[in-house]
Amino acid sequence: MNEVELKKQVERKELELNALLEITQSINNNVPEESLYKIFNFTLRSNLNIKKLALFVLDEIWNCKVNFGTKNNFQKLKLDDRFKLIKNIHRMEEFDECEFHEFDMVIPVAHKSDTLALIFVGGLNNNNNHDRDESIKFIQALSNIIIVAIENKKLARKQLEQEAFRKELEIASDVQQFLFPERLPYTERVKMEASYLPHDLVGGDYYDYIPINKNQFLICVADVSGKGIPAALMMSNFQASLRTLLRQTPNLKEIVEALNYQVMENTKGEKFITFFGAIYDLSLKTMVYVNAGHNAPILMDKKNGTRLLEEGSTVLGAMNPLPFMNEGFVTDLDDFTLFAYTDGLTETVNEDGEEFGLKSLLDYFEKNQTKDIKTIHQDIIVALDGFKGRNGYRDDITMLTCRVE
């Protein structure tokens, strides 16, 4: 190697080192991804005198991030499927004729055995073998530094997004806990027990106990279509509306009609709520209830036996006004157990694809309705766990039991 060639190689290595230093400093300074691609573009065009290039990066889908010197605009073209699994350098003549044949070769950029990018290069064939090999090594090194840095940026961004989402879920979960009554009555005459098993950190189920006066109280169970933060926020609004309306009127039919209107206004018919609400009067021994498309609660009356509370209307928020409205009315009711629940209970599925079902509940209560209500809830949860086997729960599960003696 003569002195001129040696000097050229030294100058080339110096340019390459300076380029790598600039890239490293830019990464350390946390410059945006677009700036890194611009540095990549400038470095290869000026330092290596590359005539044609297209850099495709895998970002959920393959996109061309850098393109210059080509007849085709590769930023508007989809990456040909035959290139997506490339692990080694290939000459383009190895592939059938296509738009990418205006390049000489394709160079993969891999990280932990995954191909993250593909560099299509043209113009290197004019160099001697040594220069071409050195150029390929530099392109790979430069590309690898940039692509891995950008990949790390994506991972860091995703972690921040996940952390922000987790905090949102925690806040929504705290909000949801405030929706539930802080304590339920457990006196000699009136006993209540509630169990809530959320499918996720935040769910769309709701139950409540609201005293109206010394003789009357309302109990209810509701279920919002959907899950997560939107469902929890919608249920928060629903609870506030219910409590406000109950202060204005004890007429359950009017309350349900007003709730339906508000749900319809807030969701424009895109979400709905199933709802069961009942007002019990201790002095009159009567219960007025409305079932708006909810799973029928089980009323176990010592005098009149077991029945399902089905009277009411359709789900809230699907249409306004409601197409029909019937109030259920039960009299001479002074020694009873009312079990209300959401559909996550009866729709729990076992490994054979069978649902737990209403019949399982009715069979249980036929033999166990006199048990302590806390024990009833424990029994049902144990039965559900045994029934589902290795399956997970598919939905939130809420149970609310009211016993008056």
Residue 159 has pLDDT above 70, yes or no: yes
Nearest to 231 by CA among 401, 402, 400, 398: 398
Q: Which amino acid is at 98?
A: C
* Domains of the chain, first to last: 3-153 (3.30.450.40), 170-404 (3.60.40.10)
**DSSP-based helix, strand, coil % in the chain, nearest 5:** 45, 25, 30
SS3 37: helix
Q: Averaged over 270-298, what is the pLDDT?
A: 96
More confident residue, 282 or 9: 282
**For residue range 173-194, what is the model confidence (pLDDT) as tens digits?**
666 667 788 899 999 999 999 9
Q: Is 88 exposed, middle or buried (0-12, 13-18, 19+ CB in 10 A)?
A: exposed
Asked whether 186 and 192 are in contact (CB, 8 A), the reply is yes
Q: What is the mean pLDDT of the chain?
A: 85
Percent of the chain with pLDDT over 90: 45
pLDDT of residue 327: 95
Q: Within a 10 A sphere around the Cβ of 97, how many other Cβ atoms?
A: 8
- Cα separation of the two ends of the chain: 105
pLDDT of residue 218: 97
This prediction has a pTM of 0.65
Q: CB under 8 Å to 248, separation ≥6 — which residues?
A: none
**For residue range 323-358, what is the model confidence (pLDDT) as tens digits?**
999 999 999 999 999 999 999 999 999 999 999 999
Q: CB under 8 Å to 325, separation ≥6 — which residues?
A: 253, 256, 257, 290, 312, 313
**For residue range 204-258, what is the model confidence (pLDDT) as tens digits?**
788 999 999 999 999 999 998 877 777 777 888 899 899 999 999 999 999 999 9
